[in-house]
């Protein structure tokens, strides 16, 4: 989540410099409920010591209103097409959701 938040902050600054429009809040969707709870929790426990800096960064961006975190089920995760080996029906579903089409499909 921290690396995605960094990319979102960078993209927001780029779009503001290009005067592309008024971007107030960006959505960061995650399929890990534990990560969402850790990023919104103010108290760290022994098990989360090694990820404390990343959590502070994400929490800071959530508190300032730059990023809004949301939960998405694993079945609705559209980023899977970029990271996993998927089969036909799942690829078709995600491509339809992303608005892509097959360049090599018969006309």
15-37 pLDDT, tens per residue?
Answer: 989 988 788 888 888 888 877 77
Sequence-distant (6+) residues with CB within 8 A of 44 are 52, 55
Residue found by looking up tokens 């108290």 in the block: 43
User: pLDDT confidence of 49, banded at 50, 70, 90?
Assistant: low
What average pLDDT does the chain have?
A: 81
**Mean pLDDT of all residues in 25-51:** 73
The partner residues of 71 in beta bridges, in order of sequence, read 30
81-100 pLDDT, tens per residue?
Answer: 888 888 888 888 888 888 88
User: pLDDT confidence of 44, banded at 50, 70, 90?
Assistant: low
Greatest CA span in the chain, whole angstroms? 59
Residue whose C-alpha is closest to residue 14's, from 26, 1, 29? 26
2-20 pLDDT, tens per residue?
Answer: 888 999 999 999 998 998 8
Reported pTM = 0.66
């Amino acid at each position: 989540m921290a690396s995605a938040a960094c990319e979102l902050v960078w993209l927001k600054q780029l779009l503001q410099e290009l005067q592309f429009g008024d971007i107030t809040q960006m959505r960061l969707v995650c399929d890990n409920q534990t990560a969402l709870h850790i990023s919104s929790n103010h108290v760290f426990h022994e098990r989360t010591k090694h990820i404390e800096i990343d959590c502070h960064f994400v929490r800071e961006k959530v508190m300032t209103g730059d990023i809004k975190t949301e939960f998405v089920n694993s079945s609705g995760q559209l980023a899977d097409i970029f990271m996993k080996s998927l089969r036909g029906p799942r690829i078709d579903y995600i491509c339809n959701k992303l608005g892509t089409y097959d360049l090599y499909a018969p006309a």
